[in-house]
Amino acid sequence: MTKNILITGANRGIGYALSKNYAEQGDKVFAVCRTSTQALRDLSGITVIDGIDVTDDQKLDVLKNILDNINLDIIINNAGIMTEEVFGEIESKDLVQQFVVNAVAPLKLTQALRKNLSTGSKVIFITSRMGSASDNTSGGYYGYRMSKSALNSAGVSLAQDLKPDNISVIMLHPGFVQTDLVGNQGDISAAESAKNLIKRIGQLNIEHSGEFWHANGEQLPW
């Protein structure tokens, strides 16, 4: 059955790969981004919704109006940023920006599109194992780690709030992916990560709502 899937940060990296894979398997993809690309526009089965800054409440209202009366089977909150902070030189603005983009925006977008979700829908937070406190053995990256920990916490709360309506909320770590976010230094391609993520999304359901998983099928610690 064809699904309606909304993906943020869809113009490149994991978001683009997810959009491409879902479209190729026949699903209807709503590709949300600030600035579109020709490659994204060339994909068939894609509705590109550009000009959307997910941190801007007014832009979320625009998105809400565009998607009025469209049921979404899956929302994938993928848009994110990362900067590297060195202890002793940390700037508050860098921490705040990552918190707003990585943690606040996914929650606000999901809230804006709540009426587009129905029983059986899934909300996916693309997070990172760097947001795991018990898995942190290398330090650094304060803003990114803090923002992803906050996102995970929001996801657990949201899972509780949406569970009565049979809407799943899953936190997924995509792996160390070769994208611009990490200077293309990852150990897995965006295309391969997307395939793994799609497999996990298909397998996980309301029984797993509020859980934290690696795209490779490993459940991750908080």
Indicate whether 136 belongs to any domain.
yes
pLDDT of residue 184: 66
Query: What percent of the chain shows pLDDT beyond 90?
Result: 89
Indicate whether 221 belongs to any domain.
no
pLDDT of residue 172: 98
| CATH code of residue 158 | 3.40.50.720
Indicate whether 222 belongs to any domain.
no
Does position 21 have pLDDT exceeding 60, yes or no? yes
Q: Alpha helix locations (H) across the chain?
A: 13-24, 38-41, 57-66, 92-99, 105-112, 142-162, 190-203
pLDDT of residue 178: 80
Q: pLDDT tens digits for 53-86?
A: 999 999 999 999 999 999 999 999 999 999 999 8
Residues in the chain: 222
Q: pLDDT tens digits for 122-171?
A: 999 999 999 998 888 788 999 999 999 999 999 999 999 999 999 999 99
pLDDT of residue 176: 85
pLDDT of residue 14: 96
Q: pLDDT tens digits for 175-203?
A: 988 876 656 676 789 999 999 999 999 99
Distances (CA, A) of 77 to 42, 56, 155, 213: 22, 15, 11, 15
What DSSP designation does 220 have? Answer: P
pLDDT of residue 181: 65
Indicate whether 204 belongs to any domain.
yes
Which residues form the domain of 54?
4-214
Indicate whether 219 belongs to any domain.
no
* Number of domains within the chain: 1
The residue-averaged pLDDT of 92-121 equals 98
pLDDT of residue 78: 98
Indicate whether 220 belongs to any domain.
no
Q: How many CA atoms lie within 13 A of 120 on its CB side?
A: 7
Q: CB 127: neighbour CB atoms within 10 A?
A: 29
